[in-house]
């Protein structure tokens, strides 16, 4: 009888231990969830941005200039890098040295076009995933003689997912370089996902940089990186409608408008099908056609590609190769008082990032 009583006590003892373990784990998870949501905040809209640098050139009409847009992928995307949110494996870049090399390579690629304006996206300033390299500072050193404008586009608390390599804390920006002095710059907060989805979307924005031209008008340069994860068509259109409203207002004032960046839509509307003819229509359903019908009158996408149709991004579920999903997400939209002499999506072989640069030659009329 005594042995049976002892066995019963042992069973009760183990159940209590198991219960305490479950309760402690539940408390830790609840505390972490509270930390993530309580530390979540959005940057206020219409934030004035700091302008640094030493640009001196004068913007003129009747002169051909070059602009580049390039998503540098926080310095992580070597050819073999795959990202966990795309169905790949990694959450961080391979190493600090790899981050520095990728950012240097992407920056020098952009600089080789001798650009007058450069729009960079996914530029980390202090993030776990990129080993806390200040990529904005690194890029700015490659563009001496330019003005620099950075706008925070992604910031988060320490994210514990995925458990095998927590994504960590992130601070990331969109970065504009201008060979012409920028008189003022503004950060506009885009509408984003709500509820739990906002943790994936965080703090999307676009920046507006004003460059005085010799004729008294302004060139309004907009750098944007629209939402990808956790978004839907309604939210994507809401972001574009807000963006287009600002563009239209500037155009009505008589200003010139150039908007470039990563639109996270099939920019041509057909590149998904043309570049991936062997895939089914349902595959990679996140990639929706650009909603051409909401582009305001007086604006157009630069689509007359010199050198043919070249993708501007690869999906990073697999290393870059013949099985990669390719599409055009990046590009420029301009007002009709600007002539686009050519546009080219430049094939870099995805050497430094999961994007290719887009280059335009433009002229103010």
The percentage of residues in the chain with a pLDDT greater than 90, rounded to a whole number, is: 72
Q: Please determine, for residue 240, whether its predicted confidence score (pLDDT) is greater than 90.
A: yes
pLDDT tens, residue by residue, 285-339: 788 999 999 999 999 999 999 989 999 999 999 999 999 999 999 999 999 999 9
Place of tokens 């150039």: 258
pLDDT tens, residue by residue, 23-37: 888 887 777 677 666
Q: Which of 54-58, 91-95, 234-238, 252-256 has the lowest mean pLDDT?
A: 234-238
pTM of the model: 0.90
Q: Please determine, for residue 121, whether its predicted confidence score (pLDDT) is greater than 60.
A: yes
Q: Find out whether 139 and 124 touch, Cβ atoms under 8 Å.
A: no
CA distance 203 to 19: 39
Q: Please determine, for residue 249, whether its predicted confidence score (pLDDT) is greater than 90.
A: yes
Q: Exposure string (b/e) for 24-39, b if CB count within 10 Å is 16 or more?
A: eeeeeeeeeeeebeee
Question: Minimal CA–CA distance to 315: which of 285, 343, 284, 345?
Answer: 284
Q: Please determine, for residue 227, whether its predicted confidence score (pLDDT) is greater than 60.
A: yes
DSSP string, 153-215: EEEEEEE--STTS--EEEEEEEEEEESS---EEEEEEPP---GGGHHHH---EEEEEEEEBTT
CA distance 49 to 104: 25
| pLDDT, position 217 | 98
CA distance 124 to 118: 16
CA distance 168 to 170: 7
| pLDDT, position 38 | 64
Specify burial of residue 351 (Cβ count, 10 A radius: 0-12, 13-18, 19+). Answer: middle
Question: Minimal CA–CA distance to 84: which of 177, 164, 178?
Answer: 164
Q: Please determine, for residue 344, whether its predicted confidence score (pLDDT) is greater than 50.
A: yes
CA distance 134 to 141: 11
| pLDDT, position 214 | 96
| pLDDT, position 175 | 98
Q: Please determine, for residue 184, whether its predicted confidence score (pLDDT) is greater than 60.
A: yes
| pLDDT, position 25 | 82
CA distance 10 to 243: 66
Question: Minimal CA–CA distance to 237: which of 167, 161, 291, 292?
Answer: 291
How many C-beta atoms lie closer than 10 Å to residue 277's C-beta?
Answer: 7
CA distance 345 to 234: 28
pLDDT tens, residue by residue, 264-274: 999 999 999 99
| pLDDT, position 232 | 54
pLDDT average, residue stretch 86-97: 95
| pLDDT, position 286 | 84
132 dihedral zone (left: phi>0; alpha: psi -120 to 50; beta): left
Q: How confident is the model at residue 123 (pLDDT cuts 50, 70, 90)?
A: very high
Q: How confident is the model at residue 50 (pLDDT cuts 50, 70, 90)?
A: very high
Q: Please determine, for residue 281, whether its predicted confidence score (pLDDT) is greater than 60.
A: no
Specify burial of residue 151 (Cβ count, 10 A radius: 0-12, 13-18, 19+). Answer: buried
Q: Find out whether 96 and 138 touch, Cβ atoms under 8 Å.
A: no
| Bridge partners for 313 per DSSP | 327, 355
| pLDDT, position 29 | 75
Q: Find out whether 88 and 82 touch, Cβ atoms under 8 Å.
A: yes
Q: Please determine, for residue 197, whether its predicted confidence score (pLDDT) is greater than 60.
A: no
Q: What is the mean pLDDT of the chain?
A: 90
Q: How confident is the model at residue 230 (pLDDT cuts 50, 70, 90)?
A: very low
| pLDDT, position 349 | 97
Higher pLDDT, 355 or 169: 355
**What is the token pair recorded at 283?**
């595959």
- Beta strands 64-71 and 358-364: pairing type? antiparallel
Question: Minimal CA–CA distance to 148: which of 115, 114, 181?
Answer: 181
């Amino acid at each position: 009888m005594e042995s049976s009583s002892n066995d019963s006590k042992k069973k009760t003892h183990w159940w209590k231990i198991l219960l305490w373990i479950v309760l402690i784990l539940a408390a830790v998870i609840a505390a972490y969830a509270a930390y993530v949501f309580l530390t979540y905040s959005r940057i206020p809209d219409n934030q004035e941005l700091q302008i640094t640098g030493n640009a001196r050139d004068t913007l003129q009409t009747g002169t051909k200039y070059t602009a580049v847009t390039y998503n540098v992928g926080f310095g992580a995307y070597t050819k073999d890098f795959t990202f966990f949110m795309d169905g790949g494996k990694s959450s961080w870049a391979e190493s600090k040295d790899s981050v520095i090399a990728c950012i240097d390579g992407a920056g020098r690629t952009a600089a080789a076009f001798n650009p007058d304006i450069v729009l960079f996206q996914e530029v980390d300033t202090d993030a776990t995933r990129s080993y806390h390299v200040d990529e904005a500072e690194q890029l700015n050193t490659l563009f001496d003689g330019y003005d620099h404008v950075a706008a925070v586009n992604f910031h988060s608390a320490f994210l514990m997912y995925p458990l095998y390599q927590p994504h960590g804390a992130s601070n990331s920006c969109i970065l504009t370089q201008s060979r012409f002095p920028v008189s003022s710059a503004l950060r506009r907060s885009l509408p984003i996902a709500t509820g739990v989805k906002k943790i994936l979307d965080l703090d999307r924005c676009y920046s507006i940089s004003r460059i005085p031209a010799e004729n008294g008008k302004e060139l309004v340069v907009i750098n944007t990186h629209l939402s990808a994860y956790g978004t839907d068509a309604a939210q994507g259109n809401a972001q574009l409608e807000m963006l287009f409203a600002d563009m239209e207002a500037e155009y009505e004032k008589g200003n010139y408008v150039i908007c470039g960046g990563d639109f996270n839509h099939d920019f041509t509307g057909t590149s998904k099908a043309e570049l991936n003819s062997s895939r089914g229509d349902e595959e990679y359903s996140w990639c929706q056609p650009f909603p051409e019908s909401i582009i305001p009158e007086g604006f157009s996408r630069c689509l007359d590609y010199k050198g043919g149709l070249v993708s501007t991004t690869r999906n990073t579920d697999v290393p870059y190769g013949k099985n990669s999903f390719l599409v055009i997400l990046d590009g420029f939209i301009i007002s009709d008082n600007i002539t686009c002499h050519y546009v080219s999506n430049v094939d870099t072989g995805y050497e430094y990032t999961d994007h290719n640069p887009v280059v335009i030659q433009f002229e103010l009329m």
